[in-house]
Structure 1
Amino acid sequence: MATFEADLIFSDSLNSDANRYTLIELPLEIAAQFADSSDETSGERPGLVIRGLETDEAVICTPSTTYAVRSVQTSNTMLIVRPQEQEDNGADRMVDDTTVYTIEDCVSAYQELTPCQPRLDRLRHILEGTTYRGPVEEARTVFRRIRDNAEAELYSTERLLNTVQTSDAELLEGLKAIGALEIEGVWRLLDAAYLEEALKFLLASIIVEDMPMDRLRASECIVVMEEMDTPDAVVRHILEQFSDVRTDVAGEPTYNLSEKKVGRFFGEQLLANAEHRQTPMHAFLKSWREAVPEALSIDLTMLEGLYLIQDASTGAAIQYFPKAQLPLDSKARFETLFQTRKKWTHGDILPYISDLAPSTKKLDAILLKYARMSRVGQQVVYTSRYAVK
């Protein structure tokens, strides 16, 4: 190992309690980006952004990943030094030309970045106040704003990124997951009743017009939806939400209507709107079958992560219990789950925790951190490791 001698002197402005500098240990994947962008002519640098409101614990985001920031204490004090500028006349230069460094700061901690789940919990709450209910209601809303001289609380992509702790790519994935669409440069949620009405009209039109459900074209669907005065953006959004998108030989997207996505939507609507959010199983299955076109099949597996069966021995009732309304934090998620049920089978709990880790191995580690595993006959059962309030 190469060594060299240097003289250290304390800066006149040094204040050991000021912490003028903060050290950040970069993960290899981020450090590699800095190394790859060393070409001064390219003008490009890795996009690292600190995101969070004043009351949030800050996260650092790349264009595709979110990192939690954690302070790590060290046993040794680290010195931040810089070479001292020498006077031109060399009057103060050391006789042996030993390099002189000025100590600018002393630190005993550094910031560590670890990949974490994007903090999208406030995304739906933000957009719920901007629900789109169709052109007629939209015109009324705009009129009321003008009359009352009120500003619209609408969110562009940039404004969402300044509010939600997530990377750019993860934000777009989160928006897609909650069914948001961009209308005139701002993101909106479709009112559930309006979406249900539009989807029913589109499905009825597809059947009446004998359109191929596996090769739908946006242009043709837009034409049949003109009778309902549905905006083009909404029609395309419905096709993207309830179909698997393909591209034909001419490069034009075609839409293969998804039984699972359509069935899941109508099933969730019935569960969410049921009295006390609980329905006798036989009544639910009957209503669900009536809501979905006969050409499309239904199956309870379509509703994974949306329901619990009460009195499993008889299957007496089905209760609405959506994963989307659970906390994103792992500890809070498990607390909510065990407050709802003291015991969970592996098959029942898995849909509600599958997003907490990127791999099965890490998910198993999280599961065993918060739950005790036992066997009841041939079945694996999980109970809380901690007292449930």
Structure 2
Amino acid sequence: MPQVGVQFPCSQPDAGTYRLLELPPDLCKLVESSLDTYTPLNLTIKGSTDDDAVLCTAEKTYNIRSVVLSNSVLVIAPVGSEDAGEAGDSNVSIQESLHEILELVPAVPKLHRLTGLLRGLEWDDGNEVEVEEDHDQRRRRYTYAQAQSELQASEHELARAIKDKHILILNNLLRPISPTYLHTILELLLAQLVSLSQPHHAASVPELTSALEQDHEVRREVSMQVMRWFGEVVEGGGGLWRMDVGAVVRQVGLGILRHHKEEPIVEDIFIKKWQDAVGDTFSSSVSLDLLSGNYLTALSGRLTYFPLSELPTDPAARFTDLFITRARWRAEDVTPFLIDIAVDAKDREKLLLKYARAVTDNEGVWYTARTR
């Protein structure tokens, strides 16, 4: 059997030279596939000095956490030897002794800072001037490249957040569109579909954008991005818009419900306003299920605007706010308000076990605050 000679260093090797990273199965397959197909794979570690580091692939974000090992792991390197060739022996030198590994755990992308970074940069009707460089206000300009570099999220997750949060990209600058102006543009698009006799599943992009620009002074690049948020723009023939009916109807409903944060509205009256806003063609698509995670229902049948987007992103603070709002929650009622802080259903159950207590009565299972 071949023999290996181990050389122990005279002094303790410098700590911090090596780290062992344990890959979860999905990431391991991604690395193996990249090696097999000779395709590049970008893995990026993100985080400022005050952040816990995360590792991002093109699609996902992983928390990096240290796990202490019960046994040390030695990192060794070969050492040249004149006699190694004949006897088949070899010598190795210990480079470092490791007592921990780094573990990767799927995580929710940390995009909560985006809203604060873009505050004051809203794009609104009558306030559509380009943001100029202001040396006295460092955050007057925020680019897509800055978001890629600073925010702890994968490329796919960042792009998804920009779409979901309705953030325009104009000259590489990020400009969140105001909810009121977005509501106006969607209502104009619905009206133009009717006036131009355009089918919602194959509407002419040039005709819609021209009508909005000429008649309502909505910039073409703005209306184009709004149409991509709420449907698919198919190239060819000048471009056709395939409208996502559910997404448009949902956003119009939110635009109406947003005015009832302090003053609740009777459900039947709200539904009627919503149906009138989307028109006869899409009134059958109106459903409160589309607004899940954005409202509370009282026993009187009144609805109150209660958006998930305005709740804290820290789980402990999130549950505190939820239980201040309501002393107890049904599982089906609280679940929509946890989707952005839990990776999956299993992670959501862990949060409920940690921060809430399940109580069963004649009406079923309720969740109450674990600590008061």
Is structure 2 residue 334 aligned with structure 1 residue 339? no
Is the 1:271–1:277 contact (alpha carbons within 8 Å) kept by the matching residues of 2?
A: no
Q: Aligned residue for 1:371? A: 356
Residues of 2 paired with 1:304 and 1:85: CA distance? 67
How far is the alpha carbon of 1:288 from its aligned partner? 4.3
Residue of 314, 322, 327 corresponding to 2:307? 322
Deviations 1:177-235 (A, max 9, x none): 11223222233211222223333333333333333334322111012112222222211
Change (3 A) 1:249 1:380: farther
Change (3 A) 1:308 1:36: closer
Residues of 1 paired with 2:235 and 2:35: CA distance? 41
Residue of 130, 136, 151 corresponding to 2:121? 130
Q: Aligned residue for 1:121? A: 112
TM-score (norm 2): 0.84
Question: Equivalent pairs: percent with the same residue?
Answer: 28
Q: Which residue identity does 2:168 align to in structure 1? A: L
Structure 1 unpaired stretches of 5+: none
Deviations 1:100-146 (A, max 9, x none): 22222112111111111211222232233432225x5333754xx57
Residue of 254, 262, 265 corresponding to 2:251? 265
How far is the alpha carbon of 1:369 from its aligned partner? 4.2
Deviations 1:317-365 (A, max 9, x none): 3222111222344444333322321211122112212445555455445
Change (3 A) 1:28 1:275: closer
Which stretch shows the higher mean deviation, 270-279 or 343-352? 270-279
Is the 1:25–1:112 contact (alpha carbons within 8 Å) kept by the matching residues of 2?
A: yes
Is the 2:62–2:105 contact (alpha carbons within 8 Å) kept by the matching residues of 1?
A: yes
Which stretch shows the higher mean deviation, 4-13 or 222-231? 4-13
Is the 1:51–1:164 contact (alpha carbons within 8 Å) kept by the matching residues of 2?
A: yes
Task: Supply the RMSD in Å over aligned alpha carbons.
Answer: 3.3
Matches within 5 A, 1:120-159: 120-134=111-125, 137-139=127-129, 141-142=131-132, 145=133, 153-159=140-146
Residues of 2 paired with 1:329 and 1:149: CA distance? 31
Residues of 2 paired with 1:275 and 1:356: CA distance? 23
Q: Which residue identity does 2:210 align to in structure 1? A: V
Is structure 2 residue 202 aligned with structure 1 residue 204? no
Q: Aligned residue for 2:204? A: 217
Q: Give 1 or 2 for the bigger CA radius of gyration.
A: 1
Residues of 2 paired with 1:183 and 1:20: CA distance? 43
Residue of 82, 95, 100 corresponding to 2:91? 100
Q: Aligned residue for 1:163? A: 150
Is structure 2 residue 25 aligned with structure 1 residue 31? no
Residue of 216, 219, 243 corresponding to 1:228? 216
Residues of 2 paired with 1:248 and 1:106: CA distance? 58
TM-score (norm 1): 0.81
Residues of 2 paired with 1:49 and 1:275: CA distance? 40
Change (3 A) 1:163 1:278: farther
Q: Which residue identity does 2:230 align to in structure 1? A: F
Q: Which residue identity does 2:55 align to in structure 1? A: I
Q: Which residue identity does 2:250 align to in structure 1? A: R
Change (3 A) 1:208 1:32: closer
Residue of 298, 301, 304 corresponding to 2:289? 301
How far is the alpha carbon of 1:32 from its aligned partner? 3.4
Q: Which residue identity does 2:220 align to in structure 1? A: D
Is the 2:64–2:104 contact (alpha carbons within 8 Å) kept by the matching residues of 1?
A: yes
How far is the alpha carbon of 1:70 from its aligned partner? 1.0
Q: Which residue identity does 1:387 align to in structure 2? A: T
Change (3 A) 1:318 1:119: same
Change (3 A) 1:355 1:195: closer
Deviations 1:272-331 (A, max 9, x none): 334636445566456545544354323333321111123x1x22x322211122234444
Q: Which residue identity does 1:309 align to in structure 2? A: T
Secondary structure at the aligned position of 1:104 is classed as strand
